[in-house]
Structures are given as C-alpha cells and as structure tokens.
Structure 1
C-alpha cells in the first residue's frame, strides 16, 4: 500500500518559504553584482531583532547542483554561527560550531555580503564526515560571501539568508533562538549551571597549536574512545605529570569568549580516581 505523507500547515509554510528563497537565490546567481560594488549588499534590517544573532546552516548546494550532507534536526549537532552584534551589524565577533570544533573570529559587512577574518578554533581530531565538512566550510570562509537571497521572518520559520561562496556554492542559513543542540531554547539558569560529566585525562600533557603554541590535555569521555586534545584549563585540577585522572566536571558554555579562549568551560567537581602511569 502506498503511504501518503501530509505536512502540517506550519511545516508546509516553512518548506514553501525555503523553496522560494532558494529559487530567488538561484536567479540572483545569474545576475549577481560584481564584488564590492556600491549598494550591492542585501539587508535584513526590515526584520532586524536586537542583540546577538544565532544562525544554523540548513542547506549546502554545490556549484554543480549537488547537495552536501549537513547535520541538523536529529542528525547530529548543527553547524551554528553566532554573531555577537547581530547579522546586520557592520562588524563584530562571530563564534560557533563548524562541524567538529568550536571557532571564533571577526566578521564585517561588505558591499555585497559578509567577510570573516582572524578565525581560530579548537583542534580536536575529526573523522569523516564532520571533519571533511568542517574543512570545506573553513576554507570557504577565507573568502567573502556574497548575499544572493534573504527573507524576513515568516511565522515560526525565522529569517533566512543565502550566501554564495567564491567557488559558487550556496549556503542557506536560518535564524534560530536559544543555545545548545538543534536550536533548543535554554534559559539563563541552565546555561549557568551547565551539565555534569565524567572525563578521563591522560598522564601527560602534549604540545599543541591553537592561536599559538601551547600545551594541551589529552582527554576522552569513554575509556575505549581515542584521545582528543583539550585546549582550555580544567579549573580546580592540580595536575601531576605521570598521573592519569578520572574526573567529574561541570561543563558550561562561555558566552562571547575571547578569540584565544575556548567557548566551553570545565570546572572540577571531584577526582574519581588517580592512577600513576607505569
């Protein structure tokens, strides 16, 4: 028996809005203005909301028309850009999640769209597909984006924008509320209290590269998982080289962190075990 799927009115409206916006963007690609030509930029000021802006990458169409698979919904942690002064601000700082790591940097409006600079981020080891997607995104951000389509808020769908990369790819972002995964709202108390977790810390710190050369912890959240690098401090830990630790920590998100600091904070709650390495 053939199944018939029906969209709710809200879902239908959101789907239709995305189709219209993409169609407008594709049309604009054929007649897009020369980079940095005066007045070529598209603005969302008619739907401007005050304060920071949080945007999720929901669609990546490559220049040949094929789509990249990107995480969103229940398919993993979404790719998020957080603009500290809003997307319509002339300039500011941007931070977010790029597919495997957190990143920070600067942003500024151009006559045709948006540029990013001074990008830095954590350097956790990444495996496909997250690592490949992150590499492609960070490479694309090295050149300015051209705005080829915008749409004000339509009910619950949020404002939308499509940027064109220097290679001709189209990146569609939707404005989201709140913090955390999948655009879920989280109140100030939840952000402040964070979440508790168990982490395993290796017996030696290692050289690593962030904004500059530094020393990092090797950590993991499962005894059988591969080690990853932790660039920030573990607040309250009196680390002794040659001793491996099992720790209970509180993890909280840092709002608008400095460019050379992590967006995630670990505070020691208890030392569950100490094991001296052989």
Structure 2
C-alpha cells in the first residue's frame, strides 16, 4: 500500500472536521441590550462629581436599590441607607432619607455621596449607568449596574 492510500483516512477525517467547524462558526447574532430598570436593580456608585469612589474595604460597596413601592435602600460603604424617593414639583428627589451613624475611614467620600443624593433633582439612565443630576442638570453621581 503506498503512502497516499495510508494517509487517505487521516485526510478524510481532517476535511470532515474542518467542514463541521465551518458549519458551527456562522456569525452569531447578539440580542439587543435590554433596557435597564431603575427599580430592583443593584446600582453601585462609581463616582461623585467626577471623582471615583474608593472601595469600602468593608465588603459593602456604596450602592442604591430603588424599589417599586417608592422605597430606596442602599449603603454608603460605611452606613446603611433607607428612605423614600419620588417626584416633588416635577423633579425626582430623595424625599426622606435616614442612615446609621457608624464611624468609618471614608467619611469624606460618604459625605460627598450623601450630598449628591440631597442635591439630586433628576435621574437618567443611559446604557448601564444611572446619573443623579443637580438643579442645573450637572451630573452629581454616576452608578453602574452590577446585578
């Protein structure tokens, strides 16, 4: 048996494998990104007034979760937040808020986060980011979807 006939089964297997691989590599169609809901979404704080927020070191990163019933819960990275959000005179606002009062090493970052919430007059979602905006439309804080 000559060498060409001995290699024929191997050559057939290689061609068959390549043909199968070509069938499986058709271009995939990605589904369009679903809009992100304000409510029941874990919004992790990314920045306040353009300054990146430091990791809390406590395992509780600064975040907010808006609920369907108008409640908002979250964490400053040090203290637990809870309260109510809604519209007041046509503006989206944090209406009543409360927080625990534990001492923490990121007090300045926490104060900036709380001030941004206090000054919020509107919210907007673009892509996977939530923007808190002040009375002049300036971005006060940016959150990113994690879950």
What band does the TM-score fall into relative to the shorter chain?
0.5 to 0.7
1:57 and 2:45 correspond:
yes
- Who is 1:264 aligned against? none
CA distance in 2: counterparts of 1:112 and 1:54, whole angstroms: 25
Query: Which of structure 1's runs of 4+ aligned residues deviate more than 6 A?
Result: 73-76
- Cα displacement (A) at 1:131: 0.8
Alignment of 1:176-195 (within 5 A): 176-177=146-147
Matching of residue 106 in structure 1 with residue 106 in structure 2: no
Larger Rg: 2
- Alpha-carbon distance change, 69 to 142 in structure 1, aligned in 2, over 3 angstroms: same
Q: Assess, with a 3 A threshold, how the Cα gap between structure 1 residues 75 and 104 changes in structure 2: closer, same or farther.
A: closer
Query: Which of 136, 141, 145 is equivalent to 1:171?
Result: 141
Aligned to 2:131: 162
Residue 125 of structure 2: aligned partner: 150
Judged with a 3 Å threshold, the aligned counterparts in structure 2 of structure 1 residues 50 and 108 are, in CA distance, closer, same or farther, namely closer
Q: CA deviation at 1:114?
A: 2.7
Distance verdict in 2 for CA 1:50–1:59, change over 3 Å: closer
- Structure with higher helix content: 2
**1:132-187 Cα deviation digits (max 9, x unpaired):** 1111221232233334x5324xxxxxx2222223484431111221xxxxxxxxxx
The two structures have a TM-score, normalised by structure 1, of 0.34
The CA distance in 1 between the partners of 2:54 and 2:139, in whole Å, is: 17
Q: 1:97 aligns with which of 75, 79, 86?
A: 75
Relative to structure 1, is the Cα distance of residues 170 and 121 closer, same or farther in structure 2, using a 3 angstrom cutoff?
closer
Please state if 1:131 is matched with 2:107. Answer: yes
Given the superposition, is the C-alpha separation of residues 48 and 162 from structure 1 closer, same or farther in structure 2, using an over 3 Å criterion? closer
* RMSD between aligned residues: 3.3
CA contact (8 A) 2:42 2:145 kept: yes
TM-score normalised per structure 2: 0.60
Structure 1 residue 56, shift from structure 2 partner? 0.9
Unaligned 5+ runs, structure 1: 1-45, 86-90, 153-158, 178-278
Partners of 1:110 and 1:175 in 2: CA distance: 26
Query: In 2, Cα distance between the equivalents of 1:175 and 1:104?
Result: 19
How far, CA to CA, are the matches of 1:71 and 1:113 in structure 2? 29
Give ranges in structure 2 of 5+ residues lacking alignment.
1-33
In 2 relative to 1, CA 161–102 (structure 1 residues): closer, same or farther, beyond 3 Å?
A: same
